[in-house]
């Protein structure tokens, strides 16, 4: 688990995005990869739930490895990471489920 944490720290410092932006980007990328791997449409709950499980595992590792002086700040940061990672995939999945026409070309809408 420590090597996973160290790999994350390396990526955070090696690229130009903030940690928060990485959560948003990684959430969408991993969600789409899970949909491909599970051979399920992006509108399916399974890829989204798989992403949720991975995010919860990732945050558990963070809480286990890091020890902040004020636990409330650390738990707040974990909650923020969870929301940043899951919000866009949730919005896209729900839109694909309940308003699939928004993802079609204009010529097919009429």
Give per-residue pLDDT as tens, 63-92.
Answer: 888 888 988 999 999 999 999 999 999 999
Query: Could you tell me if residue 110 is inside a domain?
Result: no
The 10s digit of each residue's pLDDT in 10-58 is: 777 677 778 888 899 999 999 999 999 999 999 999 999 999 999 999 9
Q: For 19, phi and psi rounded to 5 degrees?
A: -60, -40
Q: Do 75 and 102 touch, CB atoms closer than 8 A?
A: no
DSSP designation for 99 = -
The total number of structural domains that make up the chain = 1
Residue 83 lies in a domain: yes
* Cβ–Cβ < 8 Å for 77, 108: no
Total-model pTM: 0.81
Which residue range forms the structural domain that includes residue 18? 2-100
- Let me know if residue 82 belongs to a domain: yes
CA 39 – CA 42 distance, rounded (Å): 9
For the chain, what is the radius of gyration of the CA atoms?
16
Evaluate whether residue 75 is within a structural domain: yes
């Amino acid at each position: 688990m420590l090597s996973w944490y160290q790999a994350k720290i390396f990526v955070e410092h090696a690229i130009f995005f903030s940690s928060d932006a990485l959560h948003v980007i990684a959430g969408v990328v991993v969600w789409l990869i899970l949909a491909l791997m599970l051979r399920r449409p992006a509108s399916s709950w399974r890829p989204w739930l798989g992403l949720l499980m991975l995010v919860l595992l990732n945050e558990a590792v963070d809480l286990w490895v890091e020890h902040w002086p004020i636990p409330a700040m650390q738990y707040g940061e974990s909650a923020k990471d969870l929301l940043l990672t899951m919000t866009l995939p949730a919005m896209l999945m729900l839109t694909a489920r309940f308003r699939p026409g928004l993802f079609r070309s204009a010529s097919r809408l009429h």
